[in-house]
Each structure stands twice: as C-alpha cells, then as structure tokens.
Homo-oligomer: A and B are copies of this chain.
Amino acid sequence: MNIGVALKPGITEAWSTVELLARWAANKNIKIWTEVRSKPYLHEQVSFASRAEMALKCDLIIVLGGDGTMLSVAREIERNIPVLGVNFGRLGYLTEFPVEELLPTLERFLIGDYCLDRRMRLQAELVRHNSTAATYCVLNDVVVNKAALARMIELECRIDDKLVNHFRADGLIVSTPTGSTAYSLSAGGPIIHPAINAVVITPICPHTLTNRPIVADSNLTIELLLLSPSDEVTLTLDGQMGIPLQAGDRIRVTKSKNYFNLLRPANKNFFDILREKLNWGR
C-alpha cells in the first residue's frame, strides 16, 4: 500500500507528522511518499515523489495544511483516490481532521471503516478564436475578474446556449457546492449542500443590484463570453492559478467527470463544520 503526503510549505508540525506516519507505517507494509523539498527536515525513512507522481501511484493522499493546500493538491488528482485533510489548529472546510485523529483514522481506513464524501468538480474550457486553448479542473470555483484599476467587466452569460444576462460587474464566480462556502459566500452567494448537483453563478459587485446569485443544475453548460475590450481581465482557478483573458474569449464550464473523494470524519457532517466555521452556535 502507498500513502502520499502533501504538505503546506514551511510548517514544522507537518514534518513531525510525516515522521509519525513513517514510524506508524514501518512495520505495516505501507510505503509513505512525500515531497522532496521536506527531505532536509526528516529523520525517518520515507520515499520521495512529486504530487503528480503520488496522484498516480498512491492509494490514499494525506494533505497536511489548510484548505489552500488541499485545493492545489486536488488540481493534480484525476483518479478517484481518497484524500484526507489534516489541519494544524484551525478547522478547514476541507481539512477537517485534527492531527491527533490522524493515526486512529488511518487504522480505520485500513479495515475499510471510513466514509467518503464525493465532491463535484468543474471543468473550465478556455475557448479562444473558436478553438480550445486550455482546459482546467477545479474543486471550488472558476472566476473571471478584473484588475485593480480596470473598469467594470462586461460578460455575457449563457446557460445551455440561452442568454442569462449581460453582466457588468467586478467579476463573476462559477462555484461548486464545495466552493460555495469560499469566495462565492463572501460575494453574497448562498451555501450549497455538497450532495446536490448544482453550481452557483455569483456576480461580484454587480452594477445592476438585482443581479443576484443564480443556482443551476450542474449538468447544464455555462458559457461566459468576455465582452470588455480590456486586456486586464483574469481567469482564476480555485483562487490559485491565473490566466490573462482577451476580449472575445469564452469560458465554457461543465461538470467534470472526475469527482473528488474526501475522507470525512464519521462524527462530523457538513453542517457541523458550517456551524463551527460560521460561529452559528454563539
């Protein structure tokens, strides 16, 4: 069995957690793989691989860090491998396990006692001059937004080829249920339960105040056509990767065939996390 460990750079606790995993795995016929840049800090016997290699060869990937690390790891994974997120102190929407629950959770994982949360992902296809320039897969959101000084963006949005609206706004977010508690929520979007096949289209600071977030079936195709003449518009994927856009570019967003398989704590559901993250109990 192969377990990959992806780490947020520069976190000391992450290194000692990798060593803990190495000691735990030692007599179990389990191989622990981790990123080579943590090599100087590790005293236990582990193997090294890039995230892309781990995504290919591992049976489980453990992410040590926060939701940002999880999102960047997710972009490397196409197969349906389980992924387990560990946080160091601050609960994340995607990194729900405190470090002290890691080994017990792994023991249960080995005997098949775990539950997976199948999270929908979106595929974004950038179409330039009528041909596909690039294709991306996101777990949270596809965002078209303007540079700091740029004027409002003008975007035409279509769903299954039917005109939704010409948006004039700072930008537009197309978000999965998983992403609905991230940027879309800050921009005024609703919370979407992860078990529903939906996307939410949330305009960012729209000029027309009645341009409210729109929830649609994720089996529909959402197409954004950039009308602004400006070249200061960016396509942003999961808030981490940016591609400059040109007027006339189209972004075609569809449901990805690949789901993301999040290992979940047995005793904590989506609403438990929400209540804690959003201070509902107080």
Contact = CB atoms under 8 A, between A and B. Distances in A.
Interface of A: 145-149, 151, 159, 162-166, 169-171, 180, 183, 185-193, 195-198, 200, 204-217, 220, 232-234, 236, 239, 242, 269, 271-272, 274-275, 278-280, 282
B212 A198 contact: no
B193 A217 contact: yes
Given A148-B146, A165-B280, A215-B191, A198 B200 contact: no
A242 B280 contact: no
Given A149-B234, A190-B215, A162 B280 contact: no
Contacts of A195: 216-217, 220
Nearest to A171: B148
Contacts of A165: 271, 274-275, 280
B164 A271 contact: yes
A183 B146 CA distance: 14
Contacts of A190: 189-190, 200, 212-215
A212 B212 CA distance: 14
A275 B282 CA distance: 14
